[in-house]
Amino acid sequence: MHRVGSAGNTAGSTRPRKEKRFTYVLNDADDKKHCAGINCMAYLNGSTFSTSDYLFSGSRDGTLKRWELNNGDASFSATFESHVDWVNDAIIVGEKLVSCSSDTTIKVWNCFSDGACTRTFRQHSDYVICLAAAEKNSNIVASGGLGGEVFVWDLDAALAPVAKSVDAKEDEVPNGNSGPPLTTLCSVNSSSNIASSNSQSHGYSPIAAKGHKDSVYALAMNDTGTLLLSGGTEKVVRVWDPRTGSKNMKLRGHTDNIRALLVDSTGRYCLSGSSDSMIRLWDLGQQRCVHSYAVHTDSVWALATTHSFGHVYSGGRDQSVYLTDLSTRESVLLCTNECPILQLSLQDDTIWVATTDSSVYGWPAEGLTPQKVFQKGGSFLAGNLSFSRARASLEGSAPVPVYKEPSFVVPGVPAIVQHEIMNNRRHVLTKDTTGSVKLWEITRGAVIEDFGKVSFEDKKKELFEMVSIPAWFTMDARLGCLSVHLDTPQCFSAEIYAVDLNVSGAQEDLKINLAHDTLCGLLVHWSKRKQKSSSHGLPNGDSSIGKDVPSKDSHRSRTEVDDTTENHTTHVLPSFEFSTVSPPSIITEGSSGGPWRKRITDLDGTEGDLPWWCVDCVTHNRYPKENTKCGFYLHPAEGSPAPNITQGKLSAPRILRIHKVANYVVEKLVLDKPLDGGSDSTFVMGLSSAQSQLSQLDSSSRLGLKPWQKTKPCIEVLSPDMSLATVRTYIWKKPEDLILHYRVVQSR
């Protein structure tokens, strides 16, 4: 899982505090589409609440999207963005959308809102994988995850306002969403004894169904909320009373992980899908398996049934969707997809299919009259042994799909599967699932060139530059897009000259700190809105810049701070301007409520949980000064008449160009006349195989030199535009100290 930082310090610890991480997520040209696999879907029949039907999709890109279904078309309606990791499941509960994520949270949204999260619950200790709801009891929701935890929530009680106390605050997230602290947990242990853990005397606590020893992958609940089923890596189906958390029974039969569960409205029958490739029908009254269906050749990951619970649609790792009659055992291959199937959602005569692809597919299903599908032919009798379908497939009797093409496609953006940070530390080369190779400029979050379907390795070699810039960020593509992580103080270690960014009118020696200007570009909307809101002034005449900003006497980050520059938070160079059409999102850890995510254009200036070092950087242009020096020796070349100009080790900024070092040597060798008596002498510098501070090396020559003395030196071995860091990395390539050799020769 992508973790976004660590906050706080252990009481009494002498270790330096680890500051919060700041992450920004870059979107491609169209942020109205998912850019990673679809983990879940939820269908909302609009007849009850509106004139349109809606489909909600949750993705590995960390967002949910709402699609309006009209006249055979699915159009984008809204993005629900607050999770900071994969969205694993989502369900509709009345007019509320409930989602869970690998960020260990459960979030509640209004289905018809503009995407604002109304409440966040943080009870799970690990990834939250699955949800279940009681259809006729619109306030009961169950959640399960990799921590072996199953919680039952009463949303009406959980969402009710709770009075704040001096000792405890609500579970707040920076976008204005808040929730009560989930404490005073009433748990049921393996012996069904009720144990109470009261860390605080107020707040809502869910019921915990304790008994799982390992991960929970699937949940199901009957319509009235009186029966809860769970399954996971223990290969058994557990049955609970969700009202108390007590165990009712345990169903054994599967030989591998249970990945999908369904229960009929009466709570009598249950269907389970497993990684053993089997579908099983259980009679809960008899507490036994009454039928086994071998229709898949690999793991079964998704199930959906008709309203009467007479037919089941199933999908999984074999990329196929089958329709099976539970009573006659007749089965037919409905369709095949290009990727493994993660979830199914039946809507009348359409079966919506979520796969590891970023698109959503709708296939004909005849959900109201499934017998019509069997009339098209190609059916077979489902076996009752796990190897029967696999053997039939090997013998060449694999069925032919009834439908060749989907009736709906909600297209997504291809996910990034490979990336390489270029040496200039501003460009990143990526490759997506279609094989398309693109070059990104991460300091403004834009694709600057699309190379199409070319060799990633060949293009990487072609774009290689012999430059050396410190690694000021880390990166991953877990969300299907580029996530750039900044940690202080190391993120402030990279500087480049403004002329390299083609900044018009910039002085030759003006340096740009990449992290500083990137943060200014990302937080420019926040900064402007904050300045506007704070212009009215606070009652005490002060203006807050963030809840976690240290006081003046705080032990900030144990580094020297550069505060010599003037505040220019509203001025952003073109190379650091981020798009407002497809804006990036920022992820950071809140002061009390855990990580949060928000698009930069949605920042309103009231976010108080931004890391203090980001606020200090953007608001006051103060940031830690990293050691960006490079040490080296200057020696005259063998056989050169030039004298020694220094005996000690010199140091200069890593980005200092070689021609600046040459200028320094010329200054040190200035005489009343040229060394060799001629006026056309030039200076030559090179490397051979063979501490004083050079603090002004990156400034222009300041001496009043004669015309012949102002001749620009030529470099024989090293390029004049090469930096000291580049020479150290690519030319010298030795563990010992860098040695530069100079000589004076007669120019031709």
Burial annotation 263-296 (CB, 10 A radius, 16+ → b, else e): bbeebebbbbbbbbbbbbbbebeeeebebbbbbb
What are the angstrom distances between the C-alpha of 471 and each of 67, 491, 586?
Answer: 40, 8, 20
Each residue's pLDDT tens digit, 640-663: 777 787 778 888 889 998 888 888
**Stated pTM of the model:** 0.83
Answer whether residue 479 shows pLDDT above 60: yes
- pLDDT category at 233 given cuts 50, 70, 90 is very high
- pLDDT category at 156 given cuts 50, 70, 90 is confident
CB 337 within 8 A of CB 376: no
Each residue's pLDDT tens digit, 716-733: 567 888 899 999 898 888
3-state secondary structure of 683: strand
Q: How far apart are CA 132 and CA 135, in angstroms?
A: 9
pLDDT at 643: 77
| Helical segments of 20-93, H only | none
Of residues 590, 610, 550, 546, the one with CA closest to residue 169: 590
Q: Which contiguous run of DSSP H or E holds residue 526? A: helix 524-534
Give residue 76's Cα distance to chain centre: 22
Highest mean pLDDT among 381-390, 392-401, 544-553 belongs to 381-390
pLDDT at 394: 62
85: exposed, middle or buried (Cβ count in 10 Å: 0-12, 13-18, 19+): buried
Report the chain's terminal Cα–Cα distance, integer Å.
Answer: 63
Of residues 640, 703, 696, the one with CA closest to residue 672: 703
Strand order in the sheet with 258-263: 258-263, 269-274, 279-283, 288-293
CB 488 within 8 A of CB 557: yes
| Count of other CB atoms within 10 angstroms of residue 362 | 21
Choice between 180 and 234, residue whose per-residue pLDDT is larger: 234
What are the angstrom distances between the C-alpha of 444 and each of 27, 440, 582?
Answer: 11, 9, 11
- 465 token code pair: 């530059």
Q: How far apart are CA 428 and CA 414, in angstroms?
A: 17
CB 600 within 8 A of CB 607: no
3-state secondary structure of 617: helix
Q: How far apart are CA 642 and CA 662, in angstroms?
A: 13
Span of 265-269, 574-578, 587-591, 677-681 with lowest mean pLDDT = 677-681
pLDDT at 589: 82
Answer whether residue 34 shows pLDDT above 80: yes
Of residues 133, 51, 64, 72, the one with CA closest to residue 350: 72
CB 422 within 8 A of CB 465: yes
| Count of other CB atoms within 10 angstroms of residue 699 | 12
Beta strands in 35-174 (DSSP E): 38-44, 53-59, 63-70, 73-81, 87-93, 96-101, 106-110, 117-121, 128-134, 137-145, 150-154, 171-172
* φ and ψ at residue 609, rounded to 5 degrees: -105, 10
CB 275 within 8 A of CB 173: no
pLDDT at 135: 85
Mean pLDDT of 455-481: 95
CB 62 within 8 A of CB 84: yes
Q: Express as a percent the part of the chain with pLDDT over 90.
A: 51
C-alpha Rg value of the chain to the nearest Å:
32
pLDDT at 570: 56
To 10 degrees, the CA torsion angle through 291, 293, 299, 302? Answer: -80
Span of 146-155, 337-346, 684-693 with lowest mean pLDDT = 684-693
Choice between 26 and 641, residue whose per-residue pLDDT is larger: 26
Q: What is the DSSP string of 634-669?
A: EEEPTT--PPP--SS-EEEETT-BHHHHHHHHHHHT
What are the angstrom distances between the C-alpha of 136 and each of 139, 271, 586?
Answer: 9, 20, 38
Each residue's pLDDT tens digit, 579-598: 988 899 999 887 666 788 99
Each residue's pLDDT tens digit, 551-586: 333 333 333 334 333 344 457 898 999 998 889 999
pLDDT at 474: 96
Residues of the chain with CATH 3.10.20.90: 629-672+708-747
What are the angstrom distances between the C-alpha of 315 and each of 159, 340, 381?
Answer: 35, 8, 17
pLDDT at 390: 65
What percent of the chain is helix, strand and coil (3-state, nearest 5)? 10, 35, 50
Residue 592: which residues within 8 A CB-CB, separation 6 or more?
169, 171, 172
Answer whether residue 432 shows pLDDT above 90: yes
Answer whether residue 266 shows pLDDT above 90: no
Assigned architecture for domain 629-672+708-747? Roll (3.10)
pLDDT at 637: 79
CB 245 within 8 A of CB 207: yes
Of residues 165, 164, 99, the one with CA closest to residue 128: 99
- 30 token code pair: 């169209």
| Helical segments of 369-508, H only | 371-374, 388-394, 456-462
Answer whether residue 639 shows pLDDT above 80: no
Choice between 540 and 489, residue whose per-residue pLDDT is larger: 489
Of residues 745, 586, 595, 604, the one with CA closest to residue 676: 745
Span of 70-79, 223-232, 688-697 with lowest mean pLDDT = 688-697
Q: How far apart are CA 80 and CA 629, in angstroms?
A: 45
CB 471 within 8 A of CB 486: no
pLDDT at 79: 94
In SS3 terms, 147-209 reads as: CCCEEEEEHHHHCCCCCCCCCCCCEECCCCCEECCCCCEEEECCCCCEEEECCCCCCCCCEEE
313: exposed, middle or buried (Cβ count in 10 Å: 0-12, 13-18, 19+): buried
- 168 token code pair: 């405890």
Choice between 470 and 684, residue whose per-residue pLDDT is larger: 470
